[in-house]
Amino acid sequence: MKKDIEIPIAKDVYVAIIREWNDEFLAKDWNAYVLNNRSDQIDMVLVVSKGFDGDRKTSTMRHGIGIVAAKSFEKIEIVQEDVLSLNNEFFVTYYADNKLYEKRFLFEKNSVSEIALQTIPLIDKEGIWAK
């Protein structure tokens, strides 16, 4: 019964928020990315994101990313400065190995800042990893 249900564990797929220069607005923006560090591609990638803190919350955003190649990344969305004072949650769902995977990633409120930046492999830019 319950013991026969296999729940696959998502590994080597991550979410990071990267600090990048925006040529259009001549300013630095925070952008969320999904990173695939697996040796194979992941398919039908869907990302659901929202910000929350008590009574304050953002609208829920849904992003159909599609395919993320092996050892690569895709941009999810721009993250506004105002939203960084909230908890930011990203649910990533994808197919790989003929199985459906899902993982929750969280950026705790005020954890995304210039002083917390570190180099993110694959993208090779400064950013913050989700927990």
64 pLDDT above the threshold of 80: yes
83: CB partners within 8 A, 6+ apart: 51, 58
- Per the CB < 8 A criterion, the answer to whether 45 and 68 are in contact is yes
Give the model confidence (pLDDT) of 27-41 as tens digits. 889 999 999 999 999
Question: For the domain 2-109, what is the CATH code?
Answer: 2.60.40.1230
Confidence of residue 66 (pLDDT cuts 50, 70, 90): very high
Whether 131 shows a pLDDT value over 90: the answer reads no
87-112 tens-digit pLDDT: 999 999 999 999 999 999 999 999 99
Residue extents of the structural domains in the chain: 2-109
Torsion sign over Cα 33, 39, 41, 47 = negative
> Where do we find the tokens 């600090």?
19
Q: What amino acid occupies position 128?
A: I
CA atoms in the 13 A half-sphere facing the CB of 119: 3
pLDDT band at 2 (very low <50, low <70, confident <90, very high): low
